[in-house]
Every structure is written in structure tokens, then in C-alpha cells.
Amino acid sequence: MAAGAGYPLEGLKVLDFSRVLAGPFAGRMLSDLGAEVVKVEPPEGDASRLWGRMTAGVSGYFNMVNAGKRSIAIDLRAPGAQELVLALAKQADVLVENFRPDVMPRLGIGYETLAAANPKLIMLSISGFGRDGPESQRPAYAPIVHAELGLIDRTARQKGVQLDLPLSVADTNAGLHGLVALLSAVIMRARTGLGQHIDMAMMDATLMCDDQLHFEIEDAEATRNLPPDMWETGAGPILVSVDFRWLWKLLTSGFGLVDPSTPEMEIETKISARRAAVAAFMGGLATWTDVEAAMAKMNLAWGRIRTGKALRDQPTLAHRQSIVDVDDRAGGTRPIVQSPYRFSQAVSGVRGGAPHKGEHTDEILRGWLGLSDREIAQLAAQGILTRDGVAP
């Protein structure tokens, strides 16, 4: 990295009206890339402030997706709130929101109103089903999209049980695709001088990222590659990414594994006998050194089946410092996932923990709008501003 290199998005001003995950995730990445991200919360705060370990009044979940941001709390329904938002929007480069499509216009701060105040504004709207379709008013969280797009059904057919995915893929996909679209719009604005409105549906973003979908929509599931197998070794469980038929060939030719099947066996019985033989071989690998040596000899891709609690010990994550510690605001530190972006001529990364609700109200209104203490106090007296449930 060049000496004196800065953040790629330094100087970019972002208003983040979004809640929970899809929008806040995009905002977190913008902050990690150097943008000044102001989280605009309702008086009751983001719902995710209640999820996870609470330290110094900040939950673990909220901290993970809102680290590095500043916070102002505005009651968007209060008289005068629209004027305050428009004033802030005039100073912003980007606005992110993930309400249902009718909410922002109903509050008097829809895209047309915001763009009239600031034609250069880029607005990213993330919703479950898009802004103008037959289901645009449906509420959506990640599990709803997982169900609608066949992911839960696919899991049930492959694993034998109907379960949601163990992470919010639909949200993070929408956040990442939203980030790509938003940064594309920033580049385009440099040519045209104009902002625009981005309509990002969680349905579209997740569908685009489904690399297994074509097997189903082309009725070609019989051609699907076999899923990877998991085996219990003497050192611990592993996943091996290889067709079992190829694994069997490697073990019989390279390790002298004896075929327990006979010609008169039914195919299912034969497969079961061979899998039992492989299981016994794997169980005989007593140490991780033994496992690594066997996998290396077969030139197979494999991985330990780790717990999330042990990820700081994963060699690559430790080397790349992918989990770091930030100030927990209680005299200690708390872990947080680092930005994945690594640049040769720029810096990126988490720049601190998440804010308390309304924590930066005064400095934002002074810095962005030049308001005096008296003017800020007047907005609080009108019920427009709150901080941790009380007026600033």
C-alpha cells in the first residue's frame, strides 16, 4: 500500500435510513470504505439493537452491521421532520433505505421530493419484492425470500428436513448487490452530474446468486454434481469436496483400500458397503497431520468442520486478521468481522464500534447544516429529535 494512501470513498456522505440487515449491511461496507455514514433511526431505535450480547448499551448484532457509523434519531412522523430530512439530503451523496415502497413517499421524503432538493442524490431502496410489482407491499425478511425462491424446498429434498438457511443470505445478497449498483451510480454521476434511484429487490439479488438454480429451471437435476461428503476422522469431522466415485478410486489405487462389495450385490448395498469402508479409513486418520497428508496425497479440496466459536484459530482468518477487536465502550474490547476489501493503493476497514441511538445528533446538525445549539434544542422540543429515548 502506498504511503499516505486514503480510503477509496473518503468524502462521500451517506444517510442510512435502513433497518436490521440488508440496508445496514451496505452502509457498514460504505463506512469501511471510508464514507461518512449517518444512521437515521426512529425514536424506538433499530430493532436489531435488541439482538445479541449487550455491552454498554449496544447489542452484538447491531454492532456488527453498524460499526463505524454515526447516529441521529428523527421521528419522521413529527411535524417539521420532513424539512430536516430534506436539509440533510441536500448535503448527502447517497441515501439508503429498506422500508416498504410506499413508506418514504407517504412521509413526504420519497425519491421525487428528495431529487428535487438534490438532483445529485443517489438513493438505494432495498425491498423484498421490488417497488412496483404485484407483491411490492408484502413485508419481507430473509426467510420469506428463501422460501419463495425454493431454497428451503431444495434443502428439504437434499437433507430430508425443511429448515431455513442458517444465515440471512437474501439480506446480505441484496446489500452487496445494492452496494455494487450504488457505486456504479457514483461513477455514472461523475459523467452526468445526476443521481438516480436504485430499486433493489431481495428476490432478484438472491436469484442472481443461486448457482444451483439452472438444474431446476432446465429440468436437469439428474446432471447435478454430487454434493460433498462429510466424514468423521480420528482428529475431528471434515468435509471433502469430491465425487464419491472419484474418492473411492483414489483410495483403492493409492491407499490399498479393499473393495468389500461382491458382483451379486444390489447397487445400493454395494454403495453402502463401500461408504462403510471409506468411513473406517477416515476414522483411522488419528491426527490432523494424518488427515492433511492423506488429502494432500489425493490432491483433494477439504476443510475442517469448525464451530463459529473457533474461527479466530482458523489459520487464514488469523493471518488476514479477519476478526478484529473494537472498543466495547465499557473499558474493554469486543470482536467484529473486518472488512473483506484489501487494496494495494488504499486502506479500508472497520473504524470503530456502533453508535448509541442519536449519539452524534449535535455534531451532525452542526457539521452538515451549521445549526446552533439553540436551533438543535428547538428541534428536540418539537419532538423531532430523540436520543436513547429522550430529547437531546
Q: Which string of b and e fits 248-267 if b means at least 16 CB within 10 Å?
A: bebbeeeeebeeeeeeeeee
Q: How long a stretch of residues is the chain?
A: 392
Are the beta carbons of 84 and 384 closer than 8 angstroms?
yes
Are the beta carbons of 355 and 66 closer than 8 angstroms?
yes
What three-state secondary structure class fits 131?
coil
Q: Any long-range contacts for 85-88 (C-beta under 8 Å, 24+ apart)? A: 85/40, 85/109, 86/113, 86/114, 86/117, 87/369, 88/15, 88/38, 88/40, 88/364, 88/368, 88/369
Which residue type sits at 123? Answer: M
What three-state secondary structure class fits 372?
coil
Positions of E strands within 163-247 = 197-201, 229-232, 237-240
Estimate the crossing angle of helix 169-192 against helix 22-32, to 10 degrees: 50
- 171 a catalytic residue: yes
- C-alpha 224/C-alpha 116 separation (Å) is 51
Give the H/E segment covering residue 336: strand 333-337
Of the residues 16, 93, 171, 199, only one is catalytic, namely 171
End-to-end C-alpha distance for the chain, whole angstroms: 42
What three-state secondary structure class fits 214?
helix
Estimate the crossing angle of helix 373-381 against helix 361-369, to 10 degrees: 120
- When computed from its CA atoms, the radius of gyration of the chain, rounded to whole angstroms, is 26
Number of H helices, E strands in the chain: 16, 14
- Which of 144, 173, 165 lies closest to 22 in space, CA to CA? 173
- C-alpha 357/C-alpha 45 separation (Å) is 6
Residue 80 makes CB contacts below 8 A (sequence gap 6+) with 379, 382, 384
Q: Which residues are catalytic?
A: 171
